[in-house]
Structure 1
Amino acid sequence: MALKPCRECGAKISTEAKSCPKCGAPKPILNKASSEVSLVEPNLNYFLFFLIFLGTIFFTIKIPDSDFVFQSLIGHRSIITHSILFPFLIYHYCLKKINKPNTYLTIFVIGFFTSIALHLSADLHPKGWKGGAFIYLPGNSSIGEGPSIVWMFINVIFGTYFSSKIFIQLASTKKYFITYLFLGSLSAIIYSNIDGGDVEAKFFTFIIIFLTTFFYTKRKSGRVYLKKKEIVNKKEEKKRRFFGGFWTYLIGTIIIIPAIIFLILVIVGFLQ
């Protein structure tokens, strides 16, 4: 039996293994014929993924500032636009509730979550915590400095979390993982410089949260996969034991026990 390293964790496993016993990765060994085949959805084109993801980030990066149009009603840095509300609504109604969601809409939502998180991570470093730096409720009333920081920080975390979660459900190869992290980092560099101010603080705030949530989500998804696999294995084992014990008992009752009784009677009769 040939052994090769798992494509995810590097553990030596059988080339015939359908999943890695260590990390739970599906199809852990890619043979020569399939090594170039992506494990993402068949209709996902790498080049289009690159363009749509990056394009979505820069197309939607300024959506939080669309509250300028309704500033008299909801104020600038509105709690409505400065949140993950819009991408979450698209995710919930157009992806989560659909059996087979559109692949490219999925990429758009991933980019949308990322852009909101990137925008808000930059907003965490204003020139000064006063006036337009605060989050505003409908009616143009500020929630103050502390709650504003907490609100934006939480939305950055959940924005990057949902982005990573949806992405990991879509892609499962290192090529896409590296591309996702690269484009997220590149976007952070570009936007931080465009936005100005404390560029380094804005960049590192986003990158730290972005990478942390990605690797946390990736690890969590692996654990869920292993847990589901373990549950299935336990059910199969229980089923096997049940039927194994049942048939053993049945055969013993119908055949073996009567045979033993018959043999005893024959011996007793012979001795008499």
Structure 2
Amino acid sequence: MINTSRKLFPKWIVFLILGVYLGLNFPDIDQRTDLLVHRSIFTHGFIVPLFFFLFTSLITKKSLRLFLMGFVVALAVHLSFDLFPRGWWGYALIHIPQIGWTPKFISISWIFVSICVCIYIAISMVRGVFEVFVFLLIVIGAFVFESFSEDQFFAPLTILIITNLIVIWWKFTTGRFKIKVFRAIIRGFFLSLSIFKKSFTNFYSMIRDEYNVSMQYKRSFPKFFIRVLWIWLVLFFSTIRDFIKVFNSIFEELKNE
């Protein structure tokens, strides 16, 4: 009877559930100790998961591996909700001992990167098709459970989907193509800045000229406003066209790789 129960309910499930539970609650242990401040970089980041990841090659037992998988996935889920506090100040920011609170941009970047690292570690632990299903089950189950005690839902869900897609692409893409993509992203970024600068400069110059003409010929404000609106529409669609050209050229460059 005992052997039958073990087959129906293997011990790795217990370890998996325990890992998920600890992963969801681990970031908040800094509130229960005087050693750390809430949202400490040690509890709200990839430092602890990365430490575990360095020893995954030594882990042979399935139950322990799935425990760690559950832990890092649940931690990623928790952090995806932490990306949407009521405001980015005080305890919403990442805290570094002896340094203090980090700026908003640094805090957001740290949490986002940590989610990606946690997901990457979890995917690296997957062995076989069945464990792919287990991984997906952990992500969905942990997210739904955590959402019960949170105000946000769709925003963290979007972040979780995006980070999973980024990690899956990164893990299963060749190094050469990654370099190609990064080059394309950088090129697209600077071209976009150039387009924005050009559009703003043209808009400001044309509006200033239109204002001078309106003052010279004493045109009414409604006429001036209509002219400004028309100029804005022309430049807007011209800017969209330029963006389409840029992204189309980048897409063609990547497609030919």
TM superposition score normalised by structure 2:
0.58
The structure 1 residue matched to 2:128, chosen from 160, 165, 172, is: 172
1:186/1:150 CA distance change after superposition, 3 Å: same
Alpha-carbon distance in 2 for matches of 1:141, 1:176: 40
Rate the CA distance shift 1:61–1:203 in 2: closer, same or farther, 3 A: same
Alpha-carbon separation, structure 2, partners of 1:91 and 1:67: 22
SS at match of 2:136: helix
Instruction: Say whether the 8 Å CA contact 2:21–2:71 is kept in structure 1.
Output: no
| CA contact 1:136–1:143 (8 Å) conserved in 2 | yes
How many pairs does the alignment contain? 169
Among 14, 27, 38, which residue is 1:76 paired with? 38
User: Matched residue of 1:61: which SS?
Assistant: helix
Query: How far does the alpha carbon of each residue in 1:63-117 deviate from its partner, in whole angstroms, 9 at most, with x for none?
Result: 111111335x531100111112223223323x33x2x632221111111211221
CA distance in 2 between partners of 1:215 and 1:50 (Å) = 29
| 1:64 aligned partner | 27
For 1:164, what is the secondary structure of its paired residue?
helix
Please list, as runs of the form range in 1=range in 2, the aligned pairs for 1:138-149 lying within 5 A after superposition.
Answer: 138-139=97-98, 141-149=100-108
* Equivalent position SS for 1:78: coil
2:145 alignment counterpart: 190
C-alpha displacement of 1:197: 1.6
The match for 1:39 is none
Q: Which residue of 2 aligns with 1:114?
A: 73
CA distance in 2, matches of 1:163, 1:50: 16
1:86 aligns with 2:48: yes
Q: Matched residues in 2 for 1:84 and 1:114: separation?
A: 11
> Does residue 154 of structure 1 match 2:110?
no
Q: Which protein is richer in helix relative to its size?
A: 2
What SS does the corresponding residue of 1:191 show, helix, strand or coil? helix
Q: Residues 81 and 185 (structure 1 numbering): CA distance in 2 closer, same or farther, change over 3 Å?
A: same
Structure 2 residue identity aligned to 1:162 = I
- 1 CA distance for matches of 2:165 and 2:134? 13
Q: Which amino acid aligns with 2:132?
A: F
Which deviates further from its counterpart, 109-118 or 203-212? 203-212
Could you say what secondary structure the match of 1:86 adopts? helix
The residue type paired with residue 187 of structure 1 is: A
Closer/same/farther in 2, CA of residues 216 and 181 from structure 1, 3 Å limit: farther
Provide the C-alpha distance between the structure 2 equivalents of 1:49 and 1:104, rounded to a whole number of angstroms.
4
Q: Distance in 2 between matches of 1:179 and 1:211?
A: 17
Which of 15, 18, 33 is matched with 1:52 structurally? 15
Question: C-alpha separation between the residues in 2 aligned to 1:88 and 1:106?
Answer: 14
Residue pairs, 1:120-269, within 5 angstroms? 120-139=79-98, 141-167=100-126, 171-173=127-129, 175-194=130-149, 196-214=150-168, 216-217=170-171, 219-220=172-173
Q: How far apart are 1:198 and its partner, in Å?
A: 1.5
**AA partner of residue 176 (structure 1):** E
CA contact (8 A) 1:125 1:198 kept: yes
Change (3 A) 1:53 1:172: same
- Kept in 2, the 8 Å contact 1:54–1:187? The answer is no
TM-score where L is the length of structure 1: 0.55
- In structure 2, distance between residues paired with 1:123 and 1:183: 18
Residue 215 (structure 1) shift: 6.0
Unaligned runs of 5+ in 2: 1-6, 176-257
- 2:19 is paired with a residue of what secondary structure? helix
CA distance change for structure 1 residues 46 and 126 in 2, over 3 Å: closer, same or farther?
Answer: same
Whole-Å Cα distance in 1 between the matches of residues 159 and 14 of structure 2?
Answer: 25
Describe the shift of the 1:101–1:121 C-alpha distance in structure 2 as closer, same or farther (beyond 3 A): same
**Distance in 2 of aligned mates of 1:48 and 1:212:** 32
Give CA deviations for 1:128-185 in whole Å, capped at 9, x if unaligned. 1111100001037101211000000000001101111111xxx222x33223212311
